[in-house]
């Protein structure tokens, strides 16, 4: 069966802000209580796109050949996995008995890929929600975790639209939008491997929020503190902020930051600043546990605070 409604932010993640399967959502200037099934999703968002020869050449030249030799075999495996159903489509005809099954594979391949990654993500979310970041010190577990968060960073509509609009393509006949299904995973793998190789430089911090102002989240839930998606300028560094619930958030920071690994109390200034970053980096949907938590963003036009590793202790 074709999985039509495809989420670019997992429902299992958004549950931390929900009650009975409902979540408060600010979208297009209106605050409504919505079903988790209908937010941060789009029909057939992950349906594989028909790739041209030029698209494949773009993927290989722009991503695979620029990556390290260690990850190139995995890149090629992902590319082949996504190409096989598309190649079969060129051979079969709509009258073929296997046509419907093939269409299901084309619609569900990437969705199923994400479901497998979410299985690991669910475990790491549960640990971080109780302040446990010990998994980051273990080789295999840290690699799984890094892949989970880099895939989540890359899989959203916000990142796709930023890449499509900001990256110049110099190959005639190639299209970034068609190629993004594959590219997003290749970029995520490259990022995860890079983080893993330099893991000793990073620490995980869990922000405990007792400020009275809950953390919110959005349809771009993981934010690089050094990136500006509105300008399209490529960042030179990467450190992540990731809200986990109204009461907790994760930071992945370079050492030293003035903050120890493990749990740290978040100030009101920090919580409000990070909430502003969630709004600034969203594609168009902001989520909270209550209507009141979203009310201030209906009319607020103040400059969004820019938090950096130099003022995180705030």
Q: For 182-216, what is each residue's pLDDT tens digit?
A: 999 999 999 999 999 999 999 999 999 999 999 99
Looking up tokens 């890359």 gives 154
DSSP string for residues in 101-138: HHHHHHHHHHHHHHHHHHHHHHHHHHHHHTT--GGGGS
Q: Where are the domains of the chain?
A: 5-299
Name residues whose C-beta falls within 8 Å of residue 186's C-beta, 6 or more positions apart in sequence.
59, 63, 64, 67, 75, 78, 79
Q: How far apart are CA 57 and CA 185, in angstroms?
A: 16
What is the reported pLDDT for 158? 95
Give per-residue pLDDT as tens, 218-251. 999 999 999 876 665 667 789 999 999 999 999 9
DSSP string for residues in 205-245: EEEEE-SSS---EESS-SEETT-BTTTTBPPS---EEEE-S
What is the reported pLDDT for 256? 79
- State percent of the chain over pLDDT 90: 82
Stretch 13-41: mean pLDDT, rounded? 97
Is there a contact between 253 and 136 (Cβ–Cβ < 8 Å)? no
What is the reported pLDDT for 301? 34
Using a 10 angstrom Cβ sphere, with 0-12 exposed, 13-18 middle and 19 or more buried, the burial of residue 27 is middle
- Span between the terminal Cα atoms of the chain, in Å: 50
Stretch 91-105: mean pLDDT, rounded? 92
If one compares 163 and 312, the residue with the highest pLDDT of the two is 163
Q: How far apart are CA 224 and CA 228, in angstroms?
A: 8
CA-nearest of 161, 182, 184 to 55 is 182
Using a 10 angstrom Cβ sphere, with 0-12 exposed, 13-18 middle and 19 or more buried, the burial of residue 59 is buried
What is the reported pLDDT for 233? 65
What is the reported pLDDT for 314? 32
CA-nearest of 184, 4, 11, 222 to 111 is 4
Give per-residue pLDDT as tens, 281-311. 999 999 999 999 999 998 653 333 333 333 4
Is there a contact between 158 and 166 (Cβ–Cβ < 8 Å)? no
Q: Is the model's pLDDT at 112 over the cut of 60? A: yes
**CA 270: distance to chain centroid?**
22
Can you tell me whether residue 192 is helix, strand or coil? helix
Q: Name the strand (E) or helix (H) holding 54.
A: helix 53-62
What is the reported pLDDT for 227? 83
Give how far Cα 188 sits from Cα of 28, 143, 144, Å: 30, 12, 12
Give how far Cα 231 sits from Cα of 188, 217, 263, 275, Å: 21, 22, 33, 20
**Tokens representing 27?**
């979208």
**Tokens representing 159?**
């990142």
What is the reported pLDDT for 87? 94
What is the reported pLDDT for 131? 95
Give per-residue pLDDT as tens, 113-155. 999 999 999 999 999 999 999 999 999 999 999 999 999 999 9
Instruction: Name beta bridge partners: 202.
Output: 254
Q: Is the model's pLDDT at 257 over the cut of 90? A: no
> Whole-number mean pLDDT of the chain?
91
């Amino acid at each position: 069966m074709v999985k039509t409604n495809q989420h670019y932010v997992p429902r299992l993640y958004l549950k931390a802000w929900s009650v009975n399967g409902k979540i408060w959502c600010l979208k297009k200037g209106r605050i409504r209580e919505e079903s988790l099934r209908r937010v941060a999703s789009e029909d057939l968002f992950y349906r594989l796109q028909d790739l041209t020869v030029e698209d494949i050449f773009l993927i290989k030249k722009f991503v695979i050949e620029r990556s390290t030799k260690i990850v190139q075999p995995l890149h090629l495996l992902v590319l082949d996995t996504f190409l096989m159903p598309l190649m079969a489509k060129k051979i079969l005809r709509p009258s073929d008995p296997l046509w419907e099954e093939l269409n299901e594979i084309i619609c569900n391949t990437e969705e199923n890929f994400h479901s497998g990654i979410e299985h690991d993500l669910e475990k790491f979310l549960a640990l971080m929600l109780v302040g446990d970041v010990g998994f980051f010190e273990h080789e295999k577990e840290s690699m799984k975790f890094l892949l989970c968060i880099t895939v989540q960073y890359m899989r959203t509509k916000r990142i796709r639209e930023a890449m499509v609009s900001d990256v110049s393509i110099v190959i005639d006949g190639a299209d970034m939008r068609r190629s993004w299904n594959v590219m997003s995973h290749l970029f995520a793998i490259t990022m995860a491997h890079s983080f893993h190789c330099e893991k000793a430089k990073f620490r995980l911090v869990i922000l405990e929020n007792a400020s009275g102002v809950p953390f919110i989240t959005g349809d771009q839930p993981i934010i690089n503190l050094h990136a500006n998606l509105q300008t399209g300028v490529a960042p030179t560094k990467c450190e992540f902020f990731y809200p986990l619930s109204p009461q907790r958030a994760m930071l992945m920071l370079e050492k030293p930051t003035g903050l120890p690994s493990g749990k740290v109390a978040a100030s009101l200034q920090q919580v409000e600043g990070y909430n502003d970053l969630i709004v600034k980096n969203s594609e168009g949907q902001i989520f909270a546990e209550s209507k009141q938590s979203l009310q201030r963003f209906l009319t607020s036009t103040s400059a969004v605070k820019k938090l950096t590793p130099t003022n995180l202790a705030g």
